[in-house]
Amino acid sequence: MPRFFEPKVSGTGLLHAAGTLAGLGSAASFFASHSWLLELACHFRLQYALALAAVAVLTRVSPGPNRNNAAAAVRSAHQPRWPSLAYAALALSNLAVLLPSFIPLAPRLPAAASKQWRVVTVNVHTANPRHDLLEAFLRRENPDVILLIEVDARWLTQLEALTNVWPHTIQTPRDDNFGIALFSRHPFSQARILQLGEAGLPSIEAELRIDTQPVWIFGTHPLPPSSARNARWRDVQLEHAAAHAAARPDPKLLLGDLNTTPWSPVFRRLLARSGLIDTLRGRGYQPTWPSLFFPLWIPLDHCLVSPDLTVLDRRVGPHLGSDHRPVIVDLAFPIDHSPLAMSLWPSTVGH
């Protein structure tokens, strides 16, 4: 019986298809400020870089479909190099964007020269039943301040024992994925629930004192950019959060699942308008979502700080049953806040 259609698929063809897709994603990333759809492409820089580097190598060393055919081998040896070079160039362009995450910007402050404290932010995922994992993790890490995202009434009831260690709390549970709660072992000078922007989602603003030093904490969780409207509402919420942070005196932090990555123009505007610094800078690639599917790992959960704070450590915690992993940040105050002392003890994250 004759075959009227017989698809021909080769390994080299599949490699070029993968390289083309990764190249298109890379190209779209450079125009992320023009459309919410293009902005979605900019979050996967590491994936593009790894895929393009692999394709660049494999397309160059591939012997072609007919290993035993001498003529095919000759043609393969003389195949043009420009596709491999193009893939390599695109891989390098993505690595250049990622580079600041791997270069330390300043020396670390000696641990003995400052008061150290710890903050943790966790998107617990509303439907996650593993309250025990979260509670054990928090008691083990023993932070000074905890921000919990996606808490409902069930979550807060299960975690009620936390108030024995972190007695100062402000909470607004919700049945959807946008409840939020702040716990602290240090008393609040003031605390309130805010609605930033058009989405009407709650955020937290609080001032607390750590060894008499006032610190402002902002916690927020905007919508994911799953549509043009949601992307616009996310952007507006982050703009309002930046404005609130900029209006408060240092030291201050902005925490939460921000539903964006450091390579997004939305994130860069947040840093510029708030005057805050990303604690991820110089500390490598620390993905937090999706917690168990490593091919798509990206950093959606963030801790931004004012320049006067020193970042001693910043890391991602273990899987706690949620689709997000926690972020743990160790911070320090300089002993003396005078200009002379500040010049002697520069921030580890720099400007």
For residue 4, is pLDDT > 90? Answer: no
Q: Per residue in 202-234, pLDDT tens? A: 999 999 999 889 999 999 999 999 999 999 999
pLDDT confidence band for 10 (50 / 70 / 90): low
Range with top average pLDDT, 14-28, 54-68, 79-93, 319-333 = 319-333
Interval 45-57 mean pLDDT: 90
| Whether the Cβ atoms of residue 87 and residue 56 lie closer than 8 Å to each other | yes
User: Which pair of tokens denotes residue 156?
Assistant: 């807060």
The span from the CA of 35 to the CA of 49, in Å, is 22
Quick one: pLDDT at residue 338? Answer: 45
Quick one: pLDDT at residue 201? Answer: 97
Domains and CATH numbers, the chain: 11-102 (no CATH), 111-344 (3.60.10.10)
Q: Is 157 exposed, middle or buried (0-12, 13-18, 19+ CB in 10 A)?
A: exposed
Q: Per residue in 29-44, pLDDT tens? A: 889 999 999 999 999 9
Q: Which of 192, 121, 177, 181 is nearest to 157 (CA)?
A: 181
Q: Per residue in 141-175, pLDDT tens? A: 999 999 999 999 999 999 999 999 999 999 999 99
For residue 262, is pLDDT > 80? Answer: yes
Quick one: pLDDT at residue 205? Answer: 97
Confidence (pTM)? 0.85
For residue 83, is pLDDT > 70? Answer: yes
Quick one: pLDDT at residue 348? Answer: 37
pLDDT, averaged across the chain? 86
Residue tagged 């993905």 (tokens): 287
> What Å distances lie between residue 84 and 16, 42, 94, 248, 340, CA to CA?
9, 22, 16, 51, 53
Span of 30-34, 126-130, 318-322 with lowest mean pLDDT = 30-34
For residue 296, is pLDDT > 60? Answer: yes
The span from the CA of 44 to the CA of 26, in Å, is 9
Quick one: pLDDT at residue 65? Answer: 52
Residue of 282 and 304 predicted with greater confidence? 304
For residue 327, is pLDDT > 70? Answer: yes
Sheet with 310-316, strands from edge to edge, namely 168-172, 180-184, 145-149, 114-123, 327-334, 310-316
Quick one: pLDDT at residue 343? Answer: 43
The span from the CA of 261 to the CA of 178, in Å, is 19
Quick one: pLDDT at residue 63? Answer: 58
Furthest C-alpha separation in the chain: 89
For residue 344, is pLDDT > 70? Answer: no
Cis before 262 (ω within 30): no
Quick one: pLDDT at residue 229? Answer: 96
